Amino acid sequence: MTEDRNRPIGVFDSGLGGLTVLRALHRRLPCEDLVYFGDTARVPYGTKGARTVRDFARQDAGLLVGLGVKLVVVACNTASAFALDHLQQILPVPVLGVIEPGVDAALRASRGGPVGVIGTPGTIGSGRYQEGLAQGLPGLPGLSPDRILVGECPLLVPLVEAGWVEHPATDMILETYLEPLRTGGVDTLILGCTHYPLLKGQIARHMGPDVALVDSAESLALAAETLLADLDLRRRDGLTGGERPSGSLEFHLSDIPWKFAEIGARFLGKPITDVRTVSLEEMEAAGRL
């Protein structure tokens, strides 16, 4: 069991947005070793079909399992929507997705008004957030359909990756995307994409101070902490004040994108070094695990 506790946590995303989840995990579980895989050669997943996303997610998760992780964190809303159930059935380690933690946080935060969700077309089109909010969770009753408002925001991911977080064009696009949710009276808004925490300040300005924002990265990190504790898989030195000051961060990408160091540091909040690239052949082999 001690050996299992000392294995790393694996995190994957279609690209670099999942680095916000890695950052939240590292902050919440600083003694845990973390392994990140970004499928940057095939990003984005948000505009692809369900079968393609499921195949890619199986390869991503298989790669992490091959690296000896104790938990797979799906830091991609689209992959969570289309592939989480499949991964939970076939993988030999626990798998945690981003949608249920976000739904849980939103149901707890709502004060009785409508709840909104923004995300990529794939995430919104899957209906998984809508289903989760309607069904509810143990101890948290679901919402009626008229209290669930959603918005597809396809332009936000490329704007964030281009570094246009404070650009007037991004502000104008946010105004267009968010206006129906604001006028619809939502009191809680789920940021249903791991890129969106970088726009949290701007989104808060547009939605106003009375709207609670649910950060998908923070919600997922909290859920991972709880799951590790429940399964007795959390590192002991993270609980007893041992000598280990900080866990390691390991990075794998299927391609090194243009301006990767700049973009990655923006998402993670610190420089990224020692990145290993993974070939398509390795990915296909990992999917057969």
Tell me the catalytic residues: 76, 193
Half-sphere exposure at residue 189, Cβ-oriented, CA atoms within 13 angstroms: 29
d(CA 166, CA 146): 33
- Cα–Cα distances in angstroms (integers) from residue 259 to residues 81, 83, 163, 255, in the given order: 29, 29, 10, 12
Buried b (16+ CB within 10 A) or exposed e, 104-121: bbbbebbeeebbbbbbbe
Q: Which two tokens stand for residue 235?
A: 């590192």
Beta strand residue intervals within 18-144, DSSP E: 34-38, 71-74, 95-96, 115-119
Residue keyed to tokens 């808004």: 189
Q: Which residues does residue 9 pair with via DSSP β-bridges, in sequence order?
A: 34, 71
What is the distance between the terminal CA atoms of the chain, rounded to a whole angstrom? 23
- Amino acid (one-letter) located at 44: P
Give Cα 139 distance to the centre of its chain: 24
Three-class DSSP category at 214: strand
- Cα–Cα distances in angstroms (integers) from residue 143 to residues 116, 119, 132, 135, in the given order: 11, 19, 9, 7
d(CA 60, CA 253): 10
